[in-house]
């Protein structure tokens, strides 16, 4: 006999909850399922991609790298089924492409020939804990470069649309990363939404006018 999921029938106490509080509870109840089905953001693929190339002898084709990451990072069939846009590439392949690009910018990978990626000397020794700080430094350097280019283009009277499009591409996936972070937290705003209106404290604190 099939058993219904524990989230299929809301608890009785949910029936008296406010709409906003009910939304928070529904999102929390489905958080685990959503995280499992949705592909990880590129930032969470940086270390798996680097480890995969190391395990392949510090050099790999794109296909070899993708297969190794899928196996070692336990990417599911559901995640692989998510297409990027209308396809034909799936979202995992798309985000791995960005992971390779960022690892190259961070000085950890190089691609000496088309479709072939290798670890640099730094990439052979870097640790998992060092990857995220390196990513942040790289993002800061990119932001500074965009700022300087925009200033130079403005001074020359050039159109800055291309620079803005590049910035949009480089921030691919930030909304998903923010949502994932919020769903994993138990911050004051969640308790604030679920508290009675009469006893709800101000998020901004009391202030006299």
Phi, psi of 178 (to 5 degrees): -65, -45
Q: Where are the domains of the chain?
A: 40-126, 128-170
pLDDT at 3 (0 to 100)? 40
| Residue 197 burial class via C-beta count within 10 angstroms: exposed 0-12, middle 13-18, buried 19 and up | exposed
**Per-residue pLDDT tens listing for the chain (209 residues):** 334 334 445 555 545 555 555 555 555 545 555 555 789 999 999 999 999 999 999 999 999 999 999 999 999 999 999 999 998 999 999 999 999 999 999 999 999 999 999 999 999 999 999 999 999 999 999 999 999 988 888 888 765 555 454 454 445 555 555 555 555 555 555 555 555 555 555 544 544 44
Parallel, antiparallel or unpaired: strands 109-113 and 116-119:
antiparallel
Q: What is the DSSP letter of 41?
A: P
pLDDT at 37 (0 to 100)? 77
- Burial annotation 133-167 (CB, 10 A radius, 16+ → b, else e): ebbeebbeeeeeebeeeeeeeeeeeeeeeebeeee
pLDDT at 147 (0 to 100)? 92
C-alpha 16/C-alpha 25 separation (Å) is 12
Q: What angle do CA 115, 133, 98 make, to 5 degrees?
A: 25
Count of CB atoms situated within 10 Å of the CB of 95: 23
CATH number of 40-126: 1.10.10
pLDDT at 5 (0 to 100)? 39
C-alpha 92/C-alpha 94 separation (Å) is 5
The number of CA neighbours under 13 Å toward the Cβ of 21 is 16
pLDDT at 143 (0 to 100)? 94
pLDDT at 11 (0 to 100)? 57
pLDDT at 184 (0 to 100)? 53
Phi, psi of 4 (to 5 degrees): -70, 150
pLDDT at 206 (0 to 100)? 46
pLDDT at 21 (0 to 100)? 55
Rg (CA), the chain: 22
């Amino acid at each position: 006999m099939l058993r219904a999921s524990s989230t299929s029938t809301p608890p009785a106490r949910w029936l008296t909850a406010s709409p906003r509080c009910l939304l928070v509870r529904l999102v929390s109840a489905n958080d685990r399922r959503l995280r499992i089905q949705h592909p990880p953001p590129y930032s969470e693929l940086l270390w798996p991609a680097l480890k995969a190339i190391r395990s392949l002898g510090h050099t790999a084709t794109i296909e070899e790298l993708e297969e190794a990451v899928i196996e070692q990072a336990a990417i599911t069939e559901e995640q692989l089924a998510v297409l990027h846009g209308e396809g034909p590439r799936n979202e995992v392949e798309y985000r791995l492409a960005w992971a390779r690009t960022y690892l190259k910018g961070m000085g950890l990978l190089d691609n000496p020939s088309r479709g072939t990626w290798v670890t640099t000397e730094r990439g052979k020794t870097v640790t998992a804990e060092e990857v995220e700080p390196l990513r942040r430094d790289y993002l800061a350097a990119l932001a500074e470069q965009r700022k300087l280019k925009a200033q130079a283009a403005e001074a020359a009277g050039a159109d800055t649309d291309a620079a803005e499009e590049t910035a949009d591409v480089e921030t691919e996936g930030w909304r998903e990363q923010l949502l994932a972070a919020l769903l994993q937290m138990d911050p004051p705003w969640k308790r604030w939404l679920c508290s009675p209106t009469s006893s709800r404290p101000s998020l901004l604190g009391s202030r006299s006018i």
